[in-house]
């Protein structure tokens, strides 16, 4: 789910950097010393999950785990995901420096949205951990695919088929990411539930 260099117009790139800057500033402000290791761990998890490619027709998709990052890091998801995306751009040319802001916003906005929507349900145990995790993982990837498709459309109508393909190809990923997030949340609740405390 990386947008490459040279695809988006300047206004879209500027909006992406503005959203990423505000989100990162908010995340850094809310980041406590106790949360630095957790944020770094989720940055590593996102970075590593991106290398597990699932072939799907002429393309491939990869695990995202931005919903899990949102649940565990909250607003600091912008920090965790931004660092991972920067390293991917510099080391492996996934995405790029000009599109770093857009890619960060596309990944981190859904993570924060899932944090705001689902973390109260998870902490209060009103929703079973696996169900909450499935919803978190699915919704986060759904929102990311939607944001990515909308962003591609800002480059012109010529990208409409690409935007559709991006969205449809991520549907199986939504389910896989949801299942994995559900299992991880169940494990966390069983072994170390204090990780889910705000």
Q: What is the pLDDT of residues 75-99, one digit of tens each?
A: 999 999 999 999 988 988 877 899 9
Name which of 17-31, 57-71, 126-140, 165-179 the model is least confident about: 57-71
Distance, C-alpha 76 to centroid of its chain: 12
Q: Which range among 24-28, 62-66, 71-75, 140-144 shows the weakest confidence by mean pLDDT?
A: 62-66
Q: Give a yes or no: residue 26 inside a domain.
A: yes
What is the reported pLDDT for 128?
84
* Count of structural domains within the chain: 1
Does residue 184 lie within any of the structural domains? Answer: yes
Within a domain: residue 4? no
Report the DSSP beta bridge partners of residue 60.
55
Does some domain include residue 32? Answer: yes
Q: What is the percentage of the chain residues whose pLDDT exceeds 70? A: 94
Residues contacting residue 87 through CB under 8 Å, at least 6 positions apart: 47
Residues 6+ apart with CB under 8 A from 36: none
List Cβ neighbours of 57 (8 Å cut-off, separation of 6 or more). Answer: 169
Q: Is residue 187 part of a domain?
A: yes
Res 58: pLDDT:
43
Tell me whether residue 1 is in a domain: no
CATH number where 21 lies: 1.10.1760.20
Note down the domain range covering 160. Answer: 10-196
Map residue 53 onto helix, strand or coil.
strand
Cβ pair 110, 60 in contact under 8 A: no
- Tell me if 115 is assigned to some domain: yes
* Strand 59-62, strand 53-56: pairing: antiparallel
Is residue 58 a part of any domain in this protein?
Answer: yes
Residue 18, SS3? helix
């Amino acid at each position: 789910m990386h947008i490459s260099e040279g695809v988006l117009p300047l206004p879209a790139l500027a909006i992406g950097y503005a959203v990423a800057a505000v989100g990162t500033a908010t995340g850094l402000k809310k980041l406590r010393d106790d949360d630095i290791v957790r944020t770094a761990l989720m940055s590593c998890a996102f970075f590593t999950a991106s290398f597990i490619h699932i072939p799907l027709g002429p393309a491939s998709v990869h695990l995202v785990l931005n919903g899990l990052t949102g649940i565990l890091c909250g607003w600091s998801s912008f920090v965790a995901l931004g660092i991972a995306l920067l390293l991917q751009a510099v080391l492996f040319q996934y995405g790029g420096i000009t599109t770093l802001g857009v890619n960060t916003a596309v990944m981190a906005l859904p993570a924060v949205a899932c944090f705001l929507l689902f973390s109260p349900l998870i902490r209060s145990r009103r929703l079973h951990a696996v169900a909450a995790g499935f919803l978190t993982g699915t919704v986060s990837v759904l929102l990311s695919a939607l944001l990515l498709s909308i962003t591609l459309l800002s480059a012109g109508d010529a990208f409409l088929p690409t935007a559709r393909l991006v969205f449809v190809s991520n549907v199986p990923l939504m389910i896989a990411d949801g299942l994995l997030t559900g299992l991880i949340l169940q494990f966390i609740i069983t072994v170390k539930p204090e990780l889910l405390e705000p």
